[in-house]
Amino acid sequence: MIVQTLLTLMAVVVLALVVQRNLFSVVVLAGIYSFLMATVLVALDAVDVAMTEASVGAGISTVLLLGALYLCGGEEAKPLTRPWLPLVVTLVIVGALVYGTLGLPAFSDPQAPIHTHVVPRYLSGALAETGVPNVVTAVLASYRGYDTLGETVVVFTAGIGVIALLRRARRAKGEGA
Amino acid sequence: MKREPVLRVVGKLLIPYMLMFALYVQFHGDFGPGGGFQAGVVTAAAVIFYALIFGLPAARRVVPEALVETLVALGALVYMSVGFAGLLLGGNYLDYFVLAHDTVHGQERGIFWVEIGVLITVSGVMLKIFYMFAGRRREG
Amino acid sequence: MAQLAGHYTYWVTVLLMAAGLYILIARGNLVKKLIGLSVFQTSVYLLYIAPGKLIGGTAPIVDAAFQVYSNPLPHVLILTAIVVGVATLALGLALVVRIREAYGSIEEDEVLAADRDGGAAG
């Protein structure tokens, strides 16, 4: 019940985000959306993900967006001029996805395929094989360690990408950027 | 903002606890929610908080740019070194069970060092991106 | 009826995805497009984690007092996805800052018109 209520709140926030034109309000609404998502994730028992979403999604993303807004300076997005084609495309995609969700297993079904393949092996073996009770950390750092190596390299690449884009080269005074 | 006494006092009281919380999240990530990513972001948030209250030049004196750039690369290097340690001690790349006298202790040691690598890179990158955005002068 | 209540979660997820997609393709302001992308990504996280929840279960931290746990595998995938998402956002915003400095505007149609008319300033 709490999940459905929070999801309805998120839908309202997102609809407000679509129509808002003031960029500062849009950034604040995106932060509210991230915090509501973190709460929904706690209600769905995904505590590690909730902590990451709250700190990364609502914390760092908001800081970065405000920094970019300060540098870009635009306060208002321009009003819409006839976005009929995007609206039609979006509605078609919504129809297709809703049709697809009818084939998904019922919410919280223990016999769904997601619960019956490799996950019982992780849940039963994590504490005995790695000595770490938090199964998410065990899977992230040990069973799927290569993926986490790739992710660390992606974060590193983003860091040096931003350095490469925003570094001002040392040059004599008076030349352009 | 550094002239506001409330912000200065509260900032000086909170920032050590934020850093301590980041270390708690990092090391307690084995027993509860947490781990390298969350801890890295909280560490970066503590320094960003300091920069917001006391100004970017003060933050640059405390955590210099050269240190942050080193941290960005050091974390990924630590992670890859754990993999090579596994190779040198007789297993495959990123095998943890060869790292100690016992399989389970080897896994714990491997997970510990790998999460430290993640913490270092994530905190360095988040802080560096903040420094780049906040330190750039606005043109026009 | 319980089936409908369960599927409500999926339908709201689809609505969030659609809103994020609409912002991404129908708005011209570059920063707002990036925020739409971030909204879209967040709704996909929900689509992955919602089927993993088991009513009566708990967070996937092994303890002697609990037998039923939420599925940990989507949690791991989504942790990676969240961090990659913020990396993408940071790079996208750095690009928007450079576009603003080169063209003087962050509206897509103004930037495209400036490109057509005579090339960027730098």
Q: Tens of pLDDT along B92-105?
A: 888 888 888 888 88
Asked if residue C118 has pLDDT above 80, the reply is no
Which of A50, A77, A104 is the last residue before a domain boundary?
A77
**What was the pLDDT predicted at A51?**
93
Q: How far apart are CA B54 and CA B57, in angstroms?
A: 8
At C50-59, the pLDDT tens digits run 888 888 888 8
- C-beta neighbour count of C82 within 10 angstroms: 23
Amino acid at C100: R
Number of domains in chain B: 1
Q: Closest Cα of chain B to C91: distance in Å?
A: 9
Q: Is the pLDDT of residue B2 over 70?
A: no
Out of A11-25, B109-123, C27-41, C50-64, which region has the weakest mean confidence (pLDDT)?
C50-64
Rounded Cα gap, residues C43 and A65, in angstroms: 19
Contact residues, chain C, for A83 at CB < 8 Å: 26
Model confidence at A114: pLDDT above 90:
no
* Residue A116 confidence (pLDDT): 81
Average pLDDT of chain A is 86
Do A58 and A118 sit in the same domain of this protein?
A: no
**pLDDT, average across residues A130-149:** 90
Q: For residue A84, list chain C residues with Cβ-Cβ distance below 8 A.
A: none
Which range marks the domain in which residue C77 is found? 2-118
Contacts of A47 in chain B (CB under 8 A): 32-33
Q: Which residues of B7-23 are buried (b: 16+ CB within 10 A; e: fewer)?
A: eeeebeeebeebeebbe
pLDDT higher than threshold 50 for residue A175: no
My answer on whether A65 and A7 are in the same domain is yes
Are the Cβ atoms of C94 and B32 closer than 8 angstroms?
no
What are the two backbone dihedrals, phi and then psi, of residue C63, each rounded to the nearest 5 degrees?
A: -150, 150
The stretch A111-140 carries a mean pLDDT of 85
Contact assignment for C101 to B139 by CB distance below 8 Å:
yes
Chain A and chain C share a number of CB contacts under 8 A equal to 265
Query: Does residue B47 lie within any of the structural domains?
Result: yes
Residue B56 neighbours by CB distance under 10 Å: 14
Q: What is the pLDDT of residue A172?
A: 43
Number of Cβ within 10 Å of residue B137's Cβ equals 6
Q: Mean of the pLDDT values across residues C13-35?
A: 91
Q: Is the pLDDT of residue B35 over 70?
A: yes
Q: Using pLDDT thresholds of 50, 70 and 90, give the confidence band for residue C112.
A: confident
Partner chains of C (3+ C-beta pairs under 8 Å): A, B
The pair of structure tokens assigned to A75 is 């306060």
- Per-residue H/E/C for chain B: CCCCHHHHHHHHHHHHHHHHHHHHHHHHHHCCCCCHHHHHHHHHHHHHHHHHHHCHHHHHHHCCHHHHHHHHHHHHHHHHHHHHHHHHCCCCCCCCCCCCCCHHHHHHHHHHHHHHHHHHHHHHHHHHHHHHHHHCCCCC
The residues near C22 (Cβ < 8 Å, ≥ 6 apart) are A18, A86, A87, A90, C36
Query: Smallest Cα–Cα separation from B130: which of B54, B78, B62, B60?
Result: B60
- pLDDT for A169 beyond 70: no
pLDDT value at residue B70: 94
Q: Is B129 on the interface with C (CB under 8 A)?
A: yes
Answer whether C94 sits within 8 Å of B132, measured CB to CB.
yes
Task: Please say if the pLDDT value at position A174 is more than 60.
Answer: no
- Flag whether B122 is in a domain: yes
pLDDT at A40: 93
Instruction: Give the DSSP letter of residue A54.
Output: I
Distance in angstroms (rounded) separating the CA atoms of residues A137 and B106: 15
Domain boundary, last residue among A77, A104, A133: A77
- Residue B105: domain span: 5-135
Q: State the average pLDDT over residues B115-137.
A: 92
Q: What is the complex's ipTM, to 2 decimals?
A: 0.91
Q: Is residue B140 part of a domain?
A: no
A29, A56, A77 - which closes a domain: A77
Residue A74 has pLDDT above 70, yes or no: no
Question: Does residue A46 carry a pLDDT above 80?
Answer: yes
Predicted confidence (pLDDT) at residue C119 exceeds the cutoff of 80: no
Instruction: Check residue B130 and give its pLDDT.
Output: 93
Contact A131, B104 (CB under 8 A): yes
- Counting Cα atoms < 13 Å in the Cβ hemisphere of B49 gives 20
Q: How many structural domains does chain C have?
A: 1
Amino acid at A87: L
Q: Which residue has the tokens 């290097």?
A: B77
Angstrom distance (rounded) from CA B75 to CA C20:
33
A156 domain residue, yes or no: yes
Q: Tell me the torsion sign for CA atoms A99, A104, A108, A109.
A: positive
Taking the mean position of all CA atoms in its chain, how far away is CA C75? 16
B30-43 b/e with 16+ CB inside 10 Å = b? bebbbbbbbbbbbb
Q: What is the pLDDT of residue C122?
A: 47
pLDDT at C105 over 70: yes
- Which among B16, B12, B34 is positioned nearest to B25, based on CA atoms? B34
Tell me the CATH number at C96: 1.10.287.3510
Lowest mean pLDDT among A75-89, A136-150, B110-124: A75-89
Predicted confidence at residue B1, as pLDDT, reads 63
A 117-156 → C contacts, CB under 8 A: 118-119, 122-123, 126-127, 133-136, 139-140, 144, 147-148, 151, 154-155
Q: What domain range includes position A40?
A: 1-77
Residues A70, A128, single domain; the answer is no
All residues of chain B having their beta carbon less than 8 Å from the beta carbon of residue C101 are: 139-140
Q: What average pLDDT does this structure show over A161-174? A: 71
Q: Do B31 and C61 touch (CB under 8 A)?
A: yes
What pLDDT was estimated at residue A85? 87
> Mean of the per-residue pLDDT values for chain B?
90
Place of tokens 């339908």: C11
Q: Which residues pair with A76 in a beta bridge?
A: A22
Span A77-81, average pLDDT = 71
Q: Label residue A157 exposed, middle or buried (CB < 10 Å: 0-12, 13-18, 19+).
A: middle
Question: Which whole number is the average pLDDT over A4-22?
Answer: 91
Residue A173 is assigned to a structural domain of this protein = no
Does residue B66 sit at the A interface (CB-CB below 8 Å)?
Answer: no
Backbone angles phi and psi of A134, in degrees to 5: -75, 105
Over residues A149-156, the mean pLDDT reads: 94
Minimal Cβ distance to C83: which of B37, B129, B132: B37
Quick check: is A103 in a domain?
A: no
